[in-house]
Amino acid sequence: MGSQAHALYERALAIQEKARGPDHPEVAIILNNLAELHLTMRRPQDAIPLLERALVIYTTFEGIQHGEMDAQLNLATALIASHGDRVRALALAGQARAGFRETGDIRKLAEVEQFLAEQVGQ
């Protein structure tokens, strides 16, 4: 199932990059979705470069972009899971928390609060 989903996301990514360009927010959404698949498959190291690229795309646009906070939280999760930069992971989670507060997304705010609570004392 994972390899089939991976192939479909890769195809969607190629189509969006060709149609909209490599720096379009829709490309960032697909990158984030592909990264989530890697996280689900317990391959956080494969998710990190995808999320890094998605966040670069989001930062080129003003204001809060749809999916930006999800990418921040996913990158924080990937960094922790791969024993990467913990300080950066917590900073990204904090940025996601602020964004979810600002947009009023209570469900995602609860998710990031849970993530942060799990990191205390580790």
Q: Report the top-level CATH class of 2-119.
A: mainly alpha
Residue 54 pLDDT exceeds 80:
yes
- Average pLDDT over the chain, rounded to an integer: 93
Residues 9-20 have a mean pLDDT of: 95
- The span from the CA of 116 to the CA of 32, in Å, is 20
Q: Are 97 and 109 contacting, i.e. CB atoms less than 8 angstroms apart?
A: yes
DSSP 105: -
**What are the structural domain ranges in the chain?**
2-119
pTM as predicted? 0.91
- The span from the CA of 114 to the CA of 4, in Å, is 31
Element (H, E) at 102: helix 86-103
- The span from the CA of 121 to the CA of 28, in Å, is 33
